[in-house]
Structure 1
Amino acid sequence: VSDLIRACADVGTEQFKAELLATAIAQQLATTLAQQLRVGQAAGKCFSCGQEGHLKWQCPKRTSGPGAARTPPRPCPRCQKGFHWSNQCRSKFDKNGNRLPKLGNSERGARSGAPQ
């Protein structure tokens, strides 16, 4: 009974609150550090290859860095020469040697009635 009285006497004191807060912070810090150490060994599955142990951006089977670009399945619809996207096409002639129109609105320029 005296132990119970002694234990209850400490509840509510500033020292008890400080010790309780220190214990809670130490537990949270230990959990956070453990999670940060596991970042290199991600617990989830990769969305690229489906294997466990890494994330998509860490996947060894990807061709290059983050957001690796895919090559198109068909030749460029603009020049018909290479396997690149038409918005990346820089060819001046198509596969038959015909001159291609310039990209964008470089021929038109700014409208004359546009406010400046």
Structure 2
Amino acid sequence: MAAVVAGVGLLFAGVGGGDDDRPGARGSRPPSRRRSPRGPGHFTEYCKSLGWEWVAYRETPQPGAYCVRRADDTMLLTAAQRNAGCRWRYGVPEARHYFKDKSNYCYTTR
């Protein structure tokens, strides 16, 4: 019985141990990109450019940024529209939108 267990131990000795000596086997991940803040989104002007009146964060029907026309007429901004709003506001093609709590905030990655 001990010989069988020892054999199994030898069989799996190289698995998961990190002893892979092949070139490129480790360290092949690209360097991580870090977010650099550009500033607040201020999407009201962007919503106005789309024909709406202002922007608001709403919890219903789905949490997110909405362009609003009158209190009952809303349009949820998609991720692509929020990214476009950041590019529109800052004039930087790499600008992306992320929520900072419930606020619209724009970042670039470097």
With the shorter chain as reference, the TM-score category is: under 0.3
Higher share of residues assigned strand? 2
Higher RCO structure, 1 or 2 (CA under 8 Å, sep 6+): 2
Larger radius of gyration: 1
